[in-house]
Amino acid sequence: MRALSWHGKHDIRCESVPDPQIEHPRDAVIRVTSCAICGSDLHLYDNFIPGMTPGDVMGHECMGEVVEVGPESRHALKVGDRVVIPFTISCGACPQCLRGNFSVCERSNRNASLAQKAFGRTTAGLFGYTQLTGGYQGGQAEYIRVPFADKTHVKVPSNLSDEKLLFLSDILPTGWQAAVQLGIEETDTVAVWGCGPVGQFAIRSAVLLGAKQVIAIDRVPERLEMAAAGGAIPINFEVESVMERIDALTDGKGPEKCIDAVGLEAHVSGHIDSMYDRAKQAVMAESDRIHALREIIYLIRPAGTISMPGVYGGLADKVPLGALMNKGITVRTGQTHTQRWTDDLLRRIEEGQIDPTFVITHVADLADGPALYETFRDKKDGCVKVVLKP
């Protein structure tokens, strides 16, 4: 089959790879009809996260049609079902899954020992996202093998387009969880750093959840305009002072709730010591990335809450812990517990409350994927979200 595979820094190729097969009785194989490139994929494209092997298939946002089901998943899936695949692989039965903490499933990461070395404990397996989270092949391909398939899928109706449903796999629930976990009250100002796809959905979620005002911070003008279209007050941090604007909008008190949808690209390997070194390195190389988090800790109102969907990989230097502690800030983080939100969000899409297609700026054949990685990373051609058709 054709797939986008990783061959090193800035080297993604559309090439022929072996077809995936059922390897375990709970697996299913899906024929991918649409897939997308995520900000998280850029961390791999830029080679900030090791643990990719040349030839690994990229991608964790995909949907399609079930073509094969292992015997232990047949109670939940049948050939021909139309499904969106959550990027978090979840067993559905471990203590974490039972609590709805799907992104920290205790069973789905087949390389749990690697994750334990890095994080102390393991988190869930993820598609197309390095050996650390299981080394599962990704969905930017014609077919994908889905482990724990009876629990790792969202059945979707046939009357809605792929474009409306695809983002249930990641960025819609991610923006949603980022806002829900803030506990937004009617009087709250929510400030969102980063107007990439995740930030865009976080903004719309904060509006739906009833925030008094939503502020969006980025430096890419068309992304800021898209944020404003969704109800946010845009601040271009390269043109104006974020602090002055935020002070003016919050009577000098700061937003009660902040979302970091920027993230930090840090290196994680199997060993704690190399993780530390590499993370430090990454922080130096990307010092303006943690800058967003520092700015949040500084500007947020005391007793406020920070939500961090932005991906961080390892360790960071110079985190203003004094401000964080003395101001009584709550921090909520996490890879998204995708399956926790998908039923509710699917209903909202069906009812028309939210139409996720607004974020799509590029639709192309899988073969154009390698070039579009670059377009997306460099924000060329007004690129916000790329959808690929295998």
Partner 1 sequence: MRYEPQGSPRRGHPDRETDRLARGLGLFSLALGLAEIAAPRAVARSVGLSGREGYVRACGAREVATGIALLAADDPMPWMWGRVVGDAVDLGLLASALDEGPQRRERAGLAMGAVAAVTLLDFAVAKTLSAEDRRPARPLKDYRRRRGFPRPPEAMRGEAREMAGVY
22 binds Zn ion per the rule CB under 5 A? no
159 binds partner 1 per the rule CB under 8 A? no
Q: What are phi and psi of 387, to 5 degrees?
A: -110, 130
184 binds partner 1 per the rule CB under 8 A? yes
* Contact residue for ligand NAD among 198, 226, 227, 354 (CB under 6 A): 198
97 binds Zn ion per the rule CB under 5 A? yes
Please say whether the beta carbons of 204 and 197 come within 8 A: no
**Count of Cβ atoms closer than 10 Å to residue 31 Cβ:** 15
11 binds partner 1 per the rule CB under 8 A? no
386 binds Zn ion per the rule CB under 5 A? no
361 binds partner 1 per the rule CB under 8 A? yes
Per CB under 6 A, the segment of 113-121, 304-312, 316-324, 364-372 that binds ligand NAD is 304-312
39 binds ligand NAD per the rule CB under 6 A? yes
Q: Least CB distance from residue 369 to partner 1, whole Å?
A: 21
Per CB under 8 A, the segment of 104-112, 123-131, 216-224, 291-299 that binds partner 1 is 216-224
- Please report, as residue ranges, which positions from 223 to 242 form the binding site for partner 1 (by CB under 8 A): 223-226, 228-231, 236, 238-239
Q: What are phi and psi of 36, to 5 degrees?
A: -135, 160
* CA 79-61-224 angle, 5° bins: 145
51 binds ligand NAD per the rule CB under 6 A? no
Per CB under 5 A, the segment of 17-25, 85-93, 200-208, 346-354 that binds Zn ion is 85-93
* Contact residue for ligand NAD among 2, 253, 291, 348 (CB under 6 A): 291
Which CB, 38 or 118, lies closer to Zn ion? 38
Please say whether the beta carbons of 276 and 118 come within 8 A: no
Tokens of 250: 């919050």
384 binds partner 1 per the rule CB under 8 A? yes
Return d(Cα 148, Cα 137) in angstroms, integer: 14
Beta bridge partners of 126: 88
- Please report, as residue ranges, which positions from 229 to 248 form the binding site for Zn ion (by CB under 5 A): none
234 binds ligand NAD per the rule CB under 6 A? no
The number of residues in the chain equals: 390
Phi-psi region of 231 (alpha: psi -120 to 50; beta: other; left: phi over 0): left
Which CB, 114 or 224, lies closer to partner 1? 224
Please say whether the beta carbons of 29 and 79 come within 8 A: no
Which CB, 50 or 221, lies closer to partner 1? 221
Q: Least CB distance from residue 87 to partner 1, whole Å?
A: 19
125 binds ligand NAD per the rule CB under 6 A? no
Q: What are phi and psi of 87, to 5 degrees?
A: -75, -15
Please say whether the beta carbons of 256 and 296 come within 8 A: no
332 binds ligand NAD per the rule CB under 6 A? no
Q: Least CB distance from residue 61 to Zn ion, whole Å?
A: 5
* Contact residue for ligand NAD among 64, 196, 254, 369 (CB under 6 A): 196
Residue 353 contact partner, candidates partner 1, ligand NAD, Zn ion, none, CB within 5 to 8 A by sort of partner:
partner 1
Beta bridge partners of 236: 218
Half-sphere exposure of 202 (CA within 13 A, CB side): 33
Residue 94 contact partner, candidates partner 1, ligand NAD, Zn ion, none, CB within 5 to 8 A by sort of partner:
Zn ion
* Residues at the site binding Zn ion, with contacts judged by CB under 5 A: 38, 40, 91, 94, 97, 105, 107, 170
Q: Where does this chain bind ligand NAD (CB under 6 A)?
A: 38-40, 42-43, 170-171, 174, 193-199, 217-220, 223, 237, 261-263, 288, 291-292, 309-311, 335-336
Binding site for partner 1 (CB under 8 A): 177, 180-186, 200, 204-205, 207-211, 219-226, 228-231, 236, 238-239, 332, 344, 348, 352-359, 361, 378, 380-382, 384
